[in-house]
């Protein structure tokens, strides 16, 4: 008889109750979500099985990530796979593909979008459901365990401007450094830090011809990501934000983060600052 994994996350339900693989995905998906949106996606394995996400399964997660993003036309902008959690930056497909994937043909042969809360109402939910469900079911079968493999399905945050994108990617890439696994983010094998630094050898190379979000030049983004991910002062900014317990996905937290980064000498370059101002003018 297999071991139970407790509550939370992806996989079959425990204690004789099967929660199913559909409802949990939408639990943390809240609007806005739509074509061309960029998200920071994170998730963690169940606290009782932190050792189960070994190096082999990390590589398997990257393989499934490539397949799922190709199937759902989702663009991978960065990734970091740690021993017990992951960080992804994903962009939804263009509007035409997005509408096709989130619509259905009714009995009267009219095309209608899936209702809000349905698994197929967002492309991100479909992609992550396929990715996490496939890995959890395989791990459960190999290890002979029952219950949920993921602590919770996943959490996503909307990235709203180029500076947000740069800081998020660099923040993710420094996770192995903070964990004491490497001294340089580029030395960690299971991340996109080498690709963003202009080197080769990443287990999942990103598209060199990708069109970056927000209309920013890719060379500018690479330069800024490289500058931030190489700076230990970014770790100081992270500790300062954790100390005040403010999340920077709201105006108050964002203003605090900008102030902390200014104090630490991590202000955005003039070109990136101008892009953010232009985007603000357009959206306001």
Q: Are residues 147 and 168 in the same domain?
A: no
Q: Are 11 and 147 in contact (CB under 8 A)?
A: yes
Looking at the structure, do residues 104 and 134 belong to the same domain, yes or no?
yes
Same-domain check for residues 19 and 111: yes
* Model confidence pLDDT, tens digit, residues 169-196: 999 999 999 989 899 999 998 899 998 8
Structural domains in the chain (count): 2
CATH number at residue 30: 3.30.70.1290
For residue 284, the model assigns a pLDDT of 56
**What is the distance between the alpha carbons of residues 37 and 41, in angstroms, rounded to a whole number?**
12
C-alpha 62/C-alpha 134 separation (Å) is 12
pTM of the model: 0.81
Rounded mean pLDDT of 6-21? 41
User: Which DSSP category does 183 fall into?
Assistant: S
SS3 11: strand
pLDDT digits (tens, 9 = 90+) for 124-171: 888 888 888 877 777 777 777 777 778 777 888 889 889 989 999 999
183 shares a domain with 63: no
How confident is the model at residue 147, as a pLDDT?
A: 72
CB atoms within 10 A of CB 63: 13
Residue 119 in this model has a pLDDT that exceeds 70:
no
Q: What's the pLDDT band for 116 if we cut at 50, 70, 90?
A: low
Domain co-membership, 178 together with 95: no
Task: Verify that 117 and 208 share a domain, yes or no.
Answer: no
Structural contact between residues 64 and 186, judged by C-beta atoms closer than 8 angstroms: no
The segment with the largest mean pLDDT, out of 64-68, 118-122, 170-174, 247-251, is 170-174
Instruction: Tokens 């994994």: give the residue.
Output: 5
Mark whether 176 and 98 lie in a shared domain.
no
Q: Is 48 exposed, middle or buried (0-12, 13-18, 19+ CB in 10 A)?
A: middle
**Mean pLDDT score, 13-20:** 40
Element (DSSP H or E) covering residue 44: strand 38-44
- Tell me what pLDDT residue 174 has: 93
- 16: confidence class by pLDDT, cuts 50, 70, 90: very low
Same domain, 151 and 205: no
Which of 163-166's residues contact partners 24+ apart within 8 Å by CB, and which partners? 163/268, 163/272, 163/273, 163/276, 165/38, 165/77, 165/89, 165/213, 165/214, 165/221, 166/221, 166/224, 166/225, 166/228, 166/268, 166/272
Same domain for 64 and 95, yes or no, is: yes
Look at residue 233 and give its three-state secondary structure.
Answer: helix
Residue 205: per-residue pLDDT: 72
Domain termination site, one of 131, 159, 187 = 159
What residue numbers bound the domain in which 169 lies?
A: 161-284
For 197-223, the pLDDT digits (tens) are 887 777 777 776 677 788 888 889 999
Are 86 and 125 found together in one domain?
yes
Reference 80, options 158, 193, 178; nearest CA is 193
pLDDT score of 7 more than 60:
no
**126 and 199 part of one domain:** no
Name the one residue in this structure whose structure tokens are 């009714």. 106
Q: What DSSP line would sit under 109-138, residue for residue? A: S-EEEPPTTSGGGSHHHHHHHHHHHHHHHH
Instruction: Output the pLDDT for position 88.
Output: 94
Domain limit, last residue, from 159, 174, 203: 159
Q: Which of 103, 131, 159 is the last residue of a domain?
A: 159
Same domain (yes/no): 140, 171: no
Residues 17-68: pLDDT tens digits? 443 333 333 334 454 678 889 999 998 887 655 554 567 777 778 888 888 8
Q: What angle do CA 245, 249, 250 make, to 5 degrees?
A: 85
């Amino acid at each position: 008889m297999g071991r139970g994994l407790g509550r939370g996350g992806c996989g079959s339900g425990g204690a004789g109750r099967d929660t199913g693989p559909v409802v949990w995905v939408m639990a943390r998906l809240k609007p806005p979500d739509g074509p061309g949106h960029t998200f920071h996606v994170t998730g963690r394995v169940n606290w009782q099985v932190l050792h189960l996400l070994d190096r082999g399964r990390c590589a398997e997660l990257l393989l499934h990530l490539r397949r799922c993003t190709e199937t759902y036309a989702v663009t991978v902008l960065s990734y970091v796979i740690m021993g017990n959690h992951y960080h992804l930056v994903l962009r939804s497909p263009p509007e035409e593909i997005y509408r096709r994937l989130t619509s259905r043909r009714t009995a009267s042969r009219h095309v209608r979008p899936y209702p809000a809360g349905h698994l197929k109402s967002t492309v991100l939910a479909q992609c992550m459901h396929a990715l996490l469900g496939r890995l959890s079911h395989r791990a459960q079968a190999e290890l002979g365990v029952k219950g949920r493999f993921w602590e919770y399905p996943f959490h996503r945050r909307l990235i709203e401007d180029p500076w947000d994108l740069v800081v998020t990617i660099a923040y993710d890439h420094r996770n192995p450094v903070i964990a004491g696994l490497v001294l340089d983010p580029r030395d960690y094998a299971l991340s996109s830090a080498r690709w963003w630094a202009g080197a080769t050898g990443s287990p999942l190379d990103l598209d060199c011809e990708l069109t970056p979000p927000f209309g920013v030049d890719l060379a500018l983004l690479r330069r800024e990501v490289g500058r931030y991910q190489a700076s230990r002062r970014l770790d100081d900014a992270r500790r300062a934000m954790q100390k005040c317990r403010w999340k920077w996905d709201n105006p108050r937290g964002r203003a605090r983060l900008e102030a902390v980064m200014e104090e630490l000498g991590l202000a955005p370059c003039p070109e990136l600052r101008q892009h953010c101002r232009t985007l603000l003018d357009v959206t306001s």
